[in-house]
Amino acid sequence: MKQIFTDVLAQADIKIDGGRAWDIQVHDEAFYKRVLAGGSLALGESFMDGWWTCDALDQFFDRLLQARLNRKVVPLSAKLYVARSKVMNLQSKLGSRTVVDTHYQLSPALFMSFLDPYNQYTCGYFKDTDELNQAQEDKLDLICRKLQLSEGDRVLDIGCGWGGFAKFASQRYGANVTGVTISDKQLAYAQQYCAGLTVNFVKSDYRDFAGTDFDKVLVCGMIEHVGHKNYRSLFETAHRSLKDGGLFLLHTIGRHRSGSNTDAWMHKYIFPNAMMPAPKQLTSAAERLFALNDWHNFGTYYDNTLMAWNENFVNNWNDLSEEYDERFFRMWTYYLLMCAGTFRSNKKQLWQIVFAKRRGATAGYESVR
């Protein structure tokens, strides 16, 4: 089995027990059988268990994905998950609680250990900087400028996270922001974080939110948890929440072709039932509701973002080690660096898309970069 593995990895110029940063070091001979039987899930779990290591996981995954080796071993369990996701609505109201309970209910201290002061858990905008904090401020300002934000505007932030956009838009632009979340921990943190500002937060599933007459709507890093069966519902919520002609900005990771699946390891350990949309799925969800004003891809900056997050996480690990064990440390670095390699290989992209509510929409929107 080792020879099979050696031959497969050679297609990506990766060696077993080699001396380059992207080569892997195998510490348990059962690794080969385990991964050949279990695919990506077993690859990640065996790393968490210390069966193999790599000095530069980001480079390993970049090479692996460029060579399309992720398609070489697809176990039956992964195929069954794809089939189930096509038939079932895995992101129903009940299903949406799964990712919250698995990921977003983790201690805020974990996330604050590697995020910027605005707690941005989405791609930064590194166009004019190499520094994470500035890149996240530039991303927030880019969103505000694309939304043509003005003082007094009522803004709906669906999937508001820890309140970073709300704080920025209120302080810098004088906006009145309503943030919507289903995470108790994010809600409590955001309320304290934005105390005294023109901001309020509501615990609600986006499908149940009944607010109207907003000037602008933002969905930033949230639609990845919505699922293809619910894209239209999200767009309908944005539509009914907006005034006629109002702008809606969607910030999302994207995939090149339509699908309904996610990586098996990511599904189990990081983002259960996560699903990256494709262009066709988004434009279909927007049809008859919105005019498409602008589509901006800066996925290359997610590589920078994730590498900075990983550096911060590693540097601050001592502050977390009493709450989390070494297996969690390996899991989290694997997650961040695998994702960095994914964006570096262009297997995923990052889009900011600006829509206008068709009723009342006017011509002349100019793209902002």
State phi, psi for 332 to the nearest 5 degrees: -70, -40
What would you report as the CA-atom Rg of the chain, rounded to the nearest whole angstrom? 21
From CA 56, how far away is CA 334, in angstroms rounded?
A: 10
Structure tokens at 152: 């007094």
Residue 93's H or E segment, with its range, is: helix 93-99
Sequence-ordered list of residues with C-beta below 8 angstroms from that of 326, at least 6 positions apart, any chain = none
Looking at residue 121, the DSSP 8-state letter turns out to be: -
Long-range contacts of range 358-364, CB-CB < 8 Å, 24 or more positions apart?
358/288, 358/289, 358/290, 358/291, 359/244, 359/245, 360/243, 360/244, 360/245, 360/246, 361/244, 361/245, 361/291, 362/245
Listed residue (139, 93, 94) closest to 116, CA to CA: 139
Question: Do residues 117 and 131 touch, judged by C-beta distance below 8 A?
Answer: no
CA atoms lying within 13 Å on the CB side of residue 317: 15
> Could you list the active site residues?
339
Check the CA dihedral 57-62-68-71 and report its sign.
positive
Residue showing tokens 């110029």: 13
From CA 197, how far away is CA 40, in angstroms rounded?
A: 45
Question: Do residues 115 and 313 touch, judged by C-beta distance below 8 A?
Answer: no
Where are the strands (E) in the chain, listed by range? Answer: 24-26, 52-54, 154-158, 176-181, 199-203, 214-220, 242-254, 290-297, 349-357
Listed residue (340, 300, 350, 359) closest to 143, CA to CA: 350
From CA 349, how far away is CA 196, in angstroms rounded?
A: 36
